[in-house]
Amino acid sequence: MSIKARTFYRNGPSHRPHEPSSFALIRRQFDFRSIEIGRWVTPTERDHAATLFHDALCDLMLILQGPETLVSLRGSLALQYGSGGRPGVAAHYDPAQRSFALAKNAGPGSIAHEWFHAFDHYIAQKCFQNIPRGMFASTAWLADAPPIQHPLNQRLMACFKTILLTPDGSQPSELFQRSVQMDQTLGQTYYSKPEELCARAFEAFVQDAPIKNHFLVKGTKATPEAELGLYPQGSTRQTINTAFQSYFNQLGLALSRSA
């Protein structure tokens, strides 16, 4: 089903009561490095997708309590819609290009997950010393890379610890263990990658926010993956949510002061 024929639940505020959305407006507001639209995307599909994207990005900004520059990662992030995708993949983040691509007729609900991949990659060089440019911060933390001491970095590393380890820090978390079990069952290494674990935990944090937007995120509670324990659950989920809230609140304040 084409995206133009689908509706997505949302309860957020009206962000543009007197102005229609467009990808040009999205780029100006958030200062994305570039936005590319695939040549097979019709004008109608493009305009409808722009409205959905715009609301999702504005809702994400409100949930994170940060400015537009946080969403675009200080203008370093590129967006692609109906272009730059991979066969069989609804959405993906490409570290080499620092670009987030969403397929034309698939991928709604994936924005939060892929945005966190982009953030995890972007922030790595600001959190750790002497790491490869393609490494994610979550991966670097688990590999005991030398940290750059800063109060914000300490809050982010607290998020990683809460997601990846038991409360005493001595063992892999239950989320980590369930993800390893799934990878063993499927004969792959995917769900247990630190960057994937942390992106799924971030999805849960966003979905649990008062603002709901199913184009931004969905599927962390009532899906086969959730039932298999591949998303945080129960009190652990709340602890992770609190850690993310603490980090992004302070990051948003810091970015707003420096704007």
Cα torsion 197, 198, 202, 203: sign: negative
Which of 116, 134, 155 is at the close of a domain? 116
Closest CA to 108 of 9, 222, 251: 9
Last residue in a domain, options 66, 81, 116: 116
The rounded distance, in Å, linking the Cα atoms of 90 and 163 is 25
Same-domain pairing of 45 and 171: no
Residue 197 lies in a domain: yes
Residue-range definition of the domain harbouring residue 182 = 119-258
3-state secondary structure of 239: helix
Instruction: For residue 127, give the amino acid letter.
Output: C
> What's the structural domain count of the chain?
2
pLDDT, tens digit, 9 for 90 and up, residues 148-182: 999 999 999 999 999 999 999 999 999 999 999 99
Tokens 């133009």 — which residue?
A: 4
Decide which of 91, 116, 141 is a domain's last residue: 116
The residues of the chain scoring below 70 in pLDDT are 1-6, 84-89, 105-107, 259
Q: Are residues 139 and 233 in the same domain?
A: yes
Q: Is 206 within the bounds of a domain?
A: yes
pLDDT of residue 208: 98
Kindly state whether residue 9 falls inside one of the protein's structural domains. Answer: no
> Does residue 78 belong to any structural domain of this protein?
yes
The Cα–Cα gap between 76 and 242 comes to 28
The number of angstroms, rounded, from the C-alpha of 146 to the middle of its chain's C-alpha atoms is 25
